[in-house]
Amino acid sequence: GAGVSQSPSNKVTEKGKDVELRCDPISGHTALYWYRQRLGQGLEFLIYFQGNSAPDKSGLPSDRFSAERTGESVSTLTIQRTQQEDSAVYLCASSTQENTEAFFGQGTRLTVV
Amino acid sequence: DAKTTQPTSMDCAEGRAANLPCNHSTISGNEYVYWYRQIHSQGPQYIIHGLKNNETNEMASLIITEDRKSSTLILPHATLRDTAVYYCIVRVGYGFKTIFGAGTRLFVKA
């Protein structure tokens, strides 16, 4: 596609349920990033992929969070046993290599009730 | 990671130049300065980046001081649609690990 695509755009889930958020990066972009943005706050780095490998997972807030990437393309961010503090917009970005500008998707707004 | 500091908010009159400052006093020699903006309810949008020379593109100009400890993003003729949060970040290591921070909320007023 022309840009980074994320799905779903909105997700409401009950506390304790698992959720999967999907990111389709721009074709050919080898680097992929996940961020979290709580209401009124800046972006919080979660994880970075180079190809299918994640050299930096330092931003994942707990072991309930995990992410994978396959085929150097689609990435899935999984949050297990969701908590209310997980409510945020989850943003995905991709770039051609590490040192070029990243292009962001529109995000998935997650609401845990 | 080098940190950046930006004013919390700024106002600008429509049609005038908006000058957004950023301090990055601990920047390393190989780190680039990037600017992004985020319009309400949208993902961040790349604006411009530079290393040491001033840069200009169709959106903005970036002025980096000689010592590289600060920079200024210039929107030459601000419009109402430029109202957004502007993030100044410094690239280090892998990808965009650098925390974006709170940025500067620019209000362009008619």
Residue-by-residue pLDDT tens, chain B, 110 positions: 558 999 999 999 999 999 999 999 988 888 889 899 999 878 999 899 898 989 999 999 999 999 999 999 999 999 999 999 999 988 764 455 656 777 999 999 99
Residue matched to tokens 């700024």: B10
Q: Report in angstroms the alpha-carbon separations of A21 from A107, B46, B80.
A: 10, 23, 33
Residues of A in contact with B87 (CB under 8 A): 42-43
In terms of CA atoms, which chain B residue is nearest residue A88?
A: B41
Distance from CA of B11 to the nearest CA of A (A): 18
Flag whether residue A50 sits within 8 Å of chain B, measured between CB atoms: yes
Length of chain B in terms of residues written: 110
**Long-range contacts (CB closer than 8 Å, 24 or more residues apart) made by A60-69:** A61/A36, A67/A34, A69/A32
Contact B69, B23 (CB under 8 A): yes
Residues of chain A with pLDDT under 50: none
Question: Whole-number mean pLDDT of chain B?
Answer: 89
Flag whether residue A106 sits within 8 Å of chain B, measured between CB atoms: yes
What pLDDT does residue B3 have?
82
C-beta atoms surrounding B91 within 10 Å: 25
Flag whether residue A25 sits within 8 Å of chain B, measured between CB atoms: no
In terms of CA atoms, which chain B residue is nearest residue A101?
A: B46
